């Protein structure tokens, strides 16, 4: 089932909005107080409505009673409609786009009586990179995150660096990547769990960035050993890391042969979304699988 753009409700003033973003909300048909919230960040050249239609988040939200928040980029901020994850003014706590997103989350959580322990964030491409920013700069807000075709937090601090990192060139060491997250706030946990998705044929954002994201979070979670590796679905490999208590805290899914975009499985009763630009039919719904990893849906 697809929900049309009119089902997204524009959010009015939500604070000082230093990043000058827009925001839209989706209230599920099965809305109940004390339910979860998922924040969904679109990619370049996309809108909140187009990403929702492609990914199928609002259809899943109706089934599971999830409230959705869609931050939106304005073309006046970025000509491609990309979140500015690589700008120093937009990748630190307390200002720019991260502060705007935090402000809208707090407003929606308050107005709709959201369970504060069940707030999650996901995004693709520049939205995936901004998901990395939010998880590092406002970790206290989130129980989990999912980064699709994205990049690690502060792997770039300029447009030139961003283009290099997207192609898989350069970047901070694993130790530096961990330190960047620790230095972003004075937060000491519990940290959000992380789901990482990437196509190994991605020519826009090299899949080496998926490995870098995993390494950025492994020591944060004290997940020192790979607990599971398996090939599953139509040509994908999933790796999982657990913390010292045995809880799965990081997963990485590499979809073999897939290019740049969000993995979709649109067929059958559990199909979600609609194939399109950067919305890629590969027989596996990242939307549904992410919700399962977060504990919002049964596996």
What confidence score (pLDDT) does residue 165 get? 97
Q: What span, in angstroms and rounded, lies between the C-alpha atoms of 90 and 94?
A: 9
**pLDDT-based confidence at residue 231 (cuts at 50, 70, 90):** low
Whether 299 is covered by a domain: the verdict is no
Whether 158 is covered by a domain: the verdict is yes
Alpha helices (runs of H) in the chain, residue ranges in sequence order: 48-55, 57-64, 96-111, 126-137, 159-166, 174-184, 208-218, 286-294
Whether 279 is covered by a domain: the verdict is yes
Query: Does position 176 have pLDDT exceeding 80, yes or no?
Result: yes
Percent of the chain scoring above 70 in pLDDT: 96
Whether 51 is covered by a domain: the verdict is yes
How many domains are contained in the chain?
1
Give the pLDDT mean for 16-24.
97
* Active site positions, annotated: 125
Taking alpha carbons only, the member of 87, 91, 210, 191 closest to residue 148 is 210
Q: Does residue 85 sit in helix, strand or coil? A: coil
**pLDDT-based confidence at residue 233 (cuts at 50, 70, 90):** low
- The model's pTM: 0.95
Q: Which two tokens stand for residue 87?
A: 């700008």
The enclosing domain of 35 has a CATH number of 3.40.50.1820
Percent of the chain scoring above 90 in pLDDT: 90
Inter-residue contact 125 to 43 (CB < 8 Å): yes
What confidence score (pLDDT) does residue 2 get? 43
Give the pLDDT mean for 18-38.
95
Lowest mean pLDDT among 75-89, 157-171, 217-231, 243-257: 217-231
Q: What span, in angstroms and rounded, lies between the C-alpha atoms of 286 and 51?
A: 13
Residues spanned by the domain of 173: 5-294
**pLDDT-based confidence at residue 4 (cuts at 50, 70, 90):** very low
As separate numbers, helices (DSSP H) first and strands (DSSP E) second, the chain gives: 8, 12
Query: Does position 5 have pLDDT exceeding 50, yes or no?
Result: no
């Amino acid at each position: 089932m697809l929900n049309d753009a009119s089902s997204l409700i524009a959010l009015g003033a939500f604070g000082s909005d230093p990043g000058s973003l827009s925001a839209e909300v989706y209230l599920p048909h099965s809305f109940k107080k004390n339910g979860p919230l998922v924040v969904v960040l679109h990619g370049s050249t996309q809108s909140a409505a187009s990403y929702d239609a492609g990914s199928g988040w609002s259809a899943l939200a109706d089934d599971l009673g999830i409230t959705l928040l869609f931050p939106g980029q304005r073309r006046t901020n970025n000509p491609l409609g990309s979140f500015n994850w690589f700008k120093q003014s937009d990748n630190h706590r307390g200002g720019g786009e991260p502060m705007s997103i935090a402000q809208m989350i707090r407003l929606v959580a308050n107005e709709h009586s959201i369970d504060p322990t069940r707030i999650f964030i996901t995004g693709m491409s520049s939205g995936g990179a901004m998901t990395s920013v939010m998880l590092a700069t406002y970790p206290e807000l989130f129980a989990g995150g999912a980064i699709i075709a994205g990049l690690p937090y502060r792997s770039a601090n300029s447009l030139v660096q961003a283009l290099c990192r997207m192609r898989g060139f350069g970047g901070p060491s694993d130790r530096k990547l961990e330190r960047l997250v620790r230095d972003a706030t004075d937060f000491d946990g519990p940290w959000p769990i992380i789901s990482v998705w990437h196509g190994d044929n991605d020519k826009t954002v090299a899949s080496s960035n998926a490995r870098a994201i995993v390494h950025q979070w492994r020591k944060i979670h004290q997940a020192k050993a790979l607990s599971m590796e398996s090939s599953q679905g139509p040509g994908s490999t999933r790796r999982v890391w657990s913390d010292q208590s045995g809880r799965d805290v990081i997963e990485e899914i590499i979809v073999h042969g897939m290019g740049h975009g969000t993995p979709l499985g649109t067929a059958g009763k559990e199909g979600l979304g609609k194939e399109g630009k950067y919305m890629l039919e590969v027989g596996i719904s990242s939307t549904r699988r992410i919700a399962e990893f977060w504990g919002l849906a049964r596996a």
